[in-house]
Amino acid sequence: MKNILKLLLLMSILFLTSCQDELTSDPIGATTLEQANTTPTLIAVELSVNSSYQLLSNRLNILAEWDWNGGLVFQNDYVMQDIASDDMEKKWNPDGDQVWMDDINNFTFTSTNGGPNGLWKYDYEGIKRTNIAIGFLTNPDIETITGISPARKNQLLGEAYFLRAHYYFSLVTNFGDVPLILGSVQTYQEAFDFAVRANKSLVWDSIKSDLVLAKDLLPNSKYSSTTEKWRVSKGAAIALQAKSALYTEKWSEVITLVDELAPLGYSLNANYFDNFSTTKEYTDTEVIFSYNHQSETNPRSGNGICAPLGWGFFAPSTDFLNSFEPNDPRKLYTVDGPNQNVNKILGTLNGANKGNDDAPTNKVYLRYADALLWKAEALNETGDYPGAIAIINKIRARARTTVTALGTIPPVGTLIDRVASTDKSTIKAWLISERRAELGFENQRMLDLKRWGIAKTVMTAHGKNFQDKHLLYPIPQSEIDASAGLLLQNPGY
């Protein structure tokens, strides 16, 4: 227990308990506890924020070396949200590789499964780093100590608040009640105090509070930095505010917040695939926030998730392919079945980057089309049926006017407009269908099904063993064991 408490103190969070040995190396650029406990330098402050981004990366082996069973080879978003749903299968050709992924697909997983384990560890490592950064930047003497300018301090602090909110958003939507730690752990007693789950309402309050702070601190422009366009922007803070309002059913807030995005310069790209193409990164008008993967950097920062695509991972389900309306260009832009290429992840249409563990393809987290569909949902929930349908038709119009992956124009009659309706259920069904086509393989499907309350119905219809307990993932058993029972498990696990 002494070693576990020491780990809690050093990591500022209850995580990485039984797998202390598997953390063979820290990512280069990570701020250490030693740095946090000494007089900070400007470089240390900058690195504390930059390292907080790294847990968003799809680079391989950030937290361990090839710990497949622990779910630590790469981020598990595709496993937890896409494979678990009716959109994606583990591989193009089923085999016995990585059974823990099959267990998630079949809903036979337990609290020792690598999926929840990896998600938990990535998120809490990110929170640990943001807490260090926020601790630096909220020091009232930080400008005098480091020489950082007020504008730069505010920008970095806004980024850190956003990132902490992002990691907690992931935790609360996947696990429900989770430990809420908003600063560095200073004593052993605090380590025990934090080894309990805060009610999810408190977690949501913290997320929203951080985003209010981030929005006020970040520059009032599309990009926080014209030379580092990958950084968190005011638009990203507003978008995550809107998404948080969506998940907590604050419909009027969703509408107001989404309306704040267009004045910052966001709009739908003329071509759907411009959101994902490696040739359009940070030149398009739709992507609000993405992780900037780059090849041949030192330290490495490429998109390692392209490597398992070369090993046969991540294939579309038959149901997903059949769900597209005839001639919808988004189908081939998402996945090329005959050539077994997941174009949306690769960022290419010719298979380039497939198998490349250092690919330059960015990971898109927030984009304007997604936000518009949040607004459509909120309008439908508040009785503005014409407004909701108009947005759905706007998304469909962009899709049908997109030049296809084959270089052709979709035929007349493709994705015709939805007709006028005052039936809320009908419009909701259109919205559900549109989100699946527009956002396939973007880690949204299972989260959507759960918040809509239809996950059990949809999964059961596909022959999956989805039970009520599966609305949340289990807290990793290693975390519960390490807490001496203070950390309670989700019901049913």
Domains and CATH numbers, the chain: 1-217+456-493 (1.25.40.390), 249-452 (1.25.40.390)
User: Which phi and psi (to 5°) does residue 123 adopt?
Assistant: -65, -45
Please report which residue ranges of 12-98 form alpha helices under DSSP H: 33-36, 42-53, 77
pLDDT for residue 36: 53
pLDDT for residue 37: 56
- Which of helix, strand or coil describes residue 308? helix
Of 20 and 367, the structure prediction assigns the larger pLDDT to 367
Q: What percent of the chain has pLDDT over 90?
A: 88
Which two three-digit tokens encode residue 353? 């980057």
Name the burial class of residue 226, with classes exposed (0-12), middle (13-18) and buried (19+) by CB atoms within 10 angstroms of its CB: exposed
pLDDT for residue 190: 67
Q: Three-state secondary structure along 216-271?
A: HHCCCCCCCCCCCCCCCCHHHHHHHHHHHHHHCCCHHHHHHHHCCCHHHCCCCCCC
pLDDT digits (tens, 9 = 90+) for 114-157: 999 999 999 999 999 999 999 999 999 999 999 999 999 999 99
Q: Residue 377 — pLDDT band, cuts 50, 70, 90? A: very high
pLDDT for residue 16: 32
Q: What percent of the chain has pLDDT over 70?
A: 90
- Quote the pTM value: 0.93
- Cis before residue 179, ω within 30 degrees of 0? no
- State the Cα angle at 277 between 271 and 283, rounded to 5°: 75
pLDDT digits (tens, 9 = 90+) for 4-55: 333 333 333 333 333 333 333 333 334 445 445 568 999 999 999 999 999 9
pLDDT digits (tens, 9 = 90+) for 164-186: 999 999 999 999 999 999 987 66
- b/e map of 192-220 (b: 16 or more CB within 10 Å)? bebbebbebeebbebbbebbebbbebbee
Query: Alpha-carbon torsion 286, 290, 296, 302, what sign?
Result: negative
CA distance 110 to 490: 11
Radius of gyration of the chain from its Cα atoms, rounded to whole angstroms:
22
pLDDT for residue 123: 97
Q: How many CB atoms lie within 10 A of CB 96?
A: 6
pLDDT digits (tens, 9 = 90+) for 71-125: 999 999 999 999 999 999 999 999 999 999 999 999 999 999 999 999 999 999 9
Does residue 263 surpass a pLDDT of 80?
Answer: yes
